[in-house]
Chains A and B, each alone.
Chain A
Amino acid sequence: MNTDRNGEAADCSGEVSRDSEASTDEPPVAERLDAKRVDRQAAARGGVYALLAALFDEPDESTYRRIAAGDVDATCRDLLDATGLAVETPELTVEDDHETLCARFNDLFTVGYAEYEDRTDGSLDSQGPPVSLYETAYRPEASWNDVNLDLARAYDYFGLEVDQSARDNHDYLPYQLEFAGYLARREAESSADAARARLDLHDRHLHVVAGGLADRIDEEHGTGLYGELADFLDRFVTADQTALAERFEGGDGG
């Protein structure tokens, strides 16, 4: 079975091959990328996802200086302009000093302890920080295994794995953002397959965590940069998902 590099299956067997070496009639893959042939919108979206992945981590001193200097904000605007998506730009600037920003990040996203949702019925958000960076937290109907397995399969299929030197769970938001960025960049260098996969990633996972996280962070006070970032994540994911849905399904991707 052959597949072309636009991802169109060349036969109707239903089988999909991942073995590029099996396609003996394909020309050798160039090692350098010709910038002129790159889909700039997809590349920019890939850049936004990569930037989001980096920002949903505690900022080190260098990153903090770039945020504080407005460089990150400017870059995000530049990237957003290039995505072709009509998404309101966020204000990715801070007034916090570095220490306070770190404390804010950890307080929101990493320091976990039980908090009551409703003391009258004993319901408890027991599993961690006020705003989870893990999709499973926003999928009460789904098992942790099912969510993570689905993502593990996806990363694995596209030749990616979690860096075991500092591993995290497969449903960790920065991983999903890195994966979305990776798929966007694959699309940028001419794989429509990857765009289709990104739409499915949105439908199955990323829109859930992005929406859930934005809703959840709205309930918190003093979210600062991260409130802005969470809202932007939700807006951007929704716009990208909608655009992809229109492209592949003629719908809104709901």
Chain B
Amino acid sequence: MFRARHLLGIEHLSPQEILAILDLADRYVDLNRRTVKQSDALAGMTQINMFFENSTRTQASFELAGKRLGADVMNMSVAQSSVKKGETLIDTAMTLNAMHPDLLVVRHGSSGAVNLLASKVNCAVLNAGDGRHEHPTQALLDALTIRRAKGRIQRLTVAICGDIAHSRVARSNLILLGKMENRIRLIAPPTLMPAGVGDFGCELFDDMRKGLEGTDVVMMLRLQRERMDGGFIPSEREYYHRYGLDAEKLSAAKPDAIVMHPGPMNRGVEIDGELADDINRSVIQEQVEMGVAVRMACMDLLARNLRADRGAKAAEVMA
């Protein structure tokens, strides 16, 4: 079903592939809830996590996923290494490639950087977030969370709210939810709404209450203050007043609407702290759990393709 060599973005996945990943991830959720959480899907394989941008949560999730699948996992904290000494991305990639890793998990601050890297190495590359472009495993774990809460990942009304302009999470989710035929609403102050997104077949709102009306799922985004060079919003308190999710604004959504956030949260900026912790509405903790399972599923599938690929090549050599 899933034949790709790399997982670089949701853009390249078909709806069938997305469902295949989710189905396998469901099985890994069960595994992860057992006392013995071991599989040998990646036994003997080497996984390198290369994070050019620091991220504790995502890196931990990938590391755990790899270890539970039996891979040898290495973390390269490239954010403070030779890259700072002027080594180019390609050089770093070639160096790592020479060590024969099987899976490379990469996060980078520039859009398209992971695609570039993938074109230069022999192993499977998994995009753990590139600039403002894509963060495919986040979209997949969100989809899994939604499917488990709502029973389906089609024909839902989903609102994505907040700092859409700087968000790779929003892009990947937008593409995934669109492929699965959901109704998508984007809610953001106009300065944080990227140009031309209306063409992707979603509805745009700058009034949060109107945008939330009748939604099944409310996805909040982190306000990416570190990516903002000057004046996208007047102040955090005004942002919270107009775009922060609280019980009052959430009342416009369906009574059983779920609240999601990719983390880390700015409590009191984009989301009310109490609401984030409300186990009746918030599935934020569940998202973290699904994250490990989805990453296990993705790596498992990539490893299968890698083995098949190598097998085919070996057979060619023999013939």
Asked if A pairs with B, the answer is: no
Interface residues of A (CB under 8 A from B): none
